[in-house]
Chains A and B, each alone.
Chain A
Amino acid sequence: MKVVKIENEKCIKCMKCYDNCPEDVLAVNEEGYPYLKYEGECWFCGICWMNCPKRCIDIKLPASLW
């Protein structure tokens, strides 16, 4: 399960999520979209989510943190 989901259809590649992530768990794929690369290191701080100007990031708690 992807705990940080970025909707590429809405994403404008502004990179605010990638730039600001304090744990540096995001990366940029070949098409230039940000994605969650180091899932096990995400700490659910929500900084990507609250900085996204297009509201295209969703954070989901996985079963192991329920």
Chain B
Amino acid sequence: MITKPNAQDVKVYECDFLVVGGGDAGCSAAIKAAEEGVKTIILEKAKTDRSGHSGMGMDHVMDFPREGVSNLDYVKFFMGRHELLGGPGALMNPNVGYILGAKSWWALDHMNRWGYPMRWEDNDDYHWVRNGWFGKKIMIGVHWLDVKPVMAKKCREVGVQVLDRTMMVDLLTDKNGKVCGATAFNVRTGEFSIVKAKAVMVSTCNLARNYTSETPMHWKYKMRFHGHPGSISGDGFNACYKVGAGLCNMDIATNWNYRIRDDITIPFGSIDHGDGIRGQWMNAKGEPIPFPTAKMYDEIEKAGLDPIYCTIEHFNDEYQRRNEVCISDERFVSLYLGAQRGFNPKTHRYELMENRRFGFYGLSGVFTDENFKTDVEGLFCGGDTVLGLGGCGSACISGIIVGDQMKEYCATAAEPEVDYAHVQDVIDEVYAPLFEEDGTEPMEMESSIRYINDRYVGMHISEGKLKEGLKRLGSLKKHFMPHLMAKTPHDLMRCIEVRNIFDGSVLHFNACMERKESRGNFLRNDYPERNPENDNHISICRLVDGKDTIELMRAPELKPEYLEEGK
């Protein structure tokens, strides 16, 4: 039986550095900081040993400029690889890209030292893999099926206090607006706590659960997303937004356009990025087509040539073998599920599920400088939570860079102060669903929000639909949000998540409304042309004096010193 606590009575943890989200970025940041004597806590909604994107495994880590790739070349790639999503131009901070490349080898030393399995075989060199977008062998292929247990163990060895099954509810700020900790909720015991910290890094991935899951049937298995389901309710996005950080590209960063049916991720492992043989896209007639953008998908559909498939049947035996290794490293279970379906993974043609949105990816995120510091004092971000970061291994690098700053930062940072009145408000909201007898279950609410995003943003956006969707979201909030219902800590977790999903959805609608053009995979039927004036402009949502604001902000320039030293 869980009971609602009083703010003054809850358990208080104290540390210098709080990491929210114990995935690749979170663990790496925590280990680095703790090694330097910084008292560090990780809050992890699941269990650090198997949480985050690498919980199931991972087959590649990126990127390490080499083979004639200068740091400036790398920045160009870093900025360019999201053009499918966002259209031409720089839609992120190039200085973040620069520092990821420039510090990658330094970070790799740490990963080796901590026992992350970086080598292909014992005593072997790195397994250099071509980055499919960049065309250079700058990624490292890894056998990371069991990397998370290694990270979690190392965290404990160096003295990080790991609070598993404990999610952040919101960030705490002091009277100067500096972030000074977080409120937390144990999703198994129902215990509420406060974590006081001099600095906080949020690395809880992004938001995806505002859209329906990547399944043929959405009504039952609601958590099937390509990214990690537990961490994609936008908990970090929402918490950072509420304390004043800028949340970027909440409009255009929602469609990667290539989710595959049949429960196997064959074309997207290292092999695809590998030594030149990529999965082949084709139309229903088996005619080869390029990697399909959202617009191309529409054209193929109109011509009656869908579905679109991807196949690896042209791989030679050696590539087939290596591909199987990649799947085993990253999505081991999919081989088992593929066998259940009775198809031959080597010759099967994998269907592109449909042309629709599947949540936010690397081009969305919290705006940071190249030290991964947000505009809010005391608040850093890591991994996929950062604008422009998406994918494997950059997360580790960003985390190590943040962890490295903590000793110096915490030495001069203000002591945390807790506003207990605010904490009590948070507690009232978190536990309210316990007292609702005849209300709405959180997963029903989530499904309804997902439907509104699917229907009223969708692939083809128009102002009328956005207005209608916002009206429906408002009505849902008014009539049902106050009556969320839960009996267990697990369901209370879902209630906290659904509030974050709701708030993220509203920002998504607002951002879509503001962008009056089509670009990349962002297609507005009422504004079908790209506005070149918006190239190099990031859309940024920010809470200012309690009011939602949104503007298009010119992306920062690469700093002159980096232009010089990065050649």
A residues engaging B (CB < 8 A)?
Answer: 3, 19-24, 38-47, 49-51, 59-62, 64-66
State whether A43 touches B337 (Cβ < 8 A): no
State whether B47 touches A64 (Cβ < 8 A): no
Tell me the count of chain B residues lying within 8 A, CB to CB, of chain A.
Answer: 34
| Residues of B contacting A: mostly | loop
Contacts A/B (CB < 8 Å), 26 sampled = A20-B47, A20-B49, A21-B50, A22-B47, A22-B51, A22-B55, A22-B230, A23-B229, A23-B230, A24-B165, A24-B490, A24-B493, A40-B221, A40-B222, A41-B229, A46-B332, A46-B336, A49-B333, A49-B336, A59-B333, A61-B337, A61-B341, A64-B215, A65-B224, A66-B216, A66-B341
Q: A18 → chain B, closest Cβ, in Å?
A: 10
Partner of A59, one of B224, B337, B443: B337
- Interface of chain B residues 198 through 238 with chain A (CB within 8 A): 215-217, 219-225, 228-230
Residues of A within 8 A of B55 (CB): 22, 45, 47
B263 at the interface (CB under 8 A from A): yes
B176 at the interface (CB under 8 A from A): no
B residues engaging A (CB < 8 A)?
Answer: 46-47, 49-51, 55-56, 145, 165, 187-188, 215-217, 219-225, 228-230, 263, 332-333, 336-337, 340-341, 443, 490, 493
Distance between Cα atoms of A35 and B170 in the complex (Å): 32
Between A24, A40, A61, A66, the greatest number of chain B beta carbons within 10 A of the residue's beta carbon is seen for: A24
State whether A44 touches B224 (Cβ < 8 A): yes
- A-B pair number, CB within 8 angstroms: 91
State whether B333 touches A45 (Cβ < 8 A): yes
| Residues of A contacting B: mostly | loop
Distance between Cα atoms of A38 and B55 in the complex (Å): 20
Distance between Cα atoms of A21 and B56 in the complex (Å): 10
Partner of B443, one of A20, A40, A43, A44: A40
State whether A65 touches B47 (Cβ < 8 A): no
Which 3 A-B residue pairings sit nearest by Cβ, starting from the closest? A46-B333, A64-B217, A20-B50
State whether A44 touches B263 (Cβ < 8 A): yes
Partner of A45, one of B56, B145, B215: B56
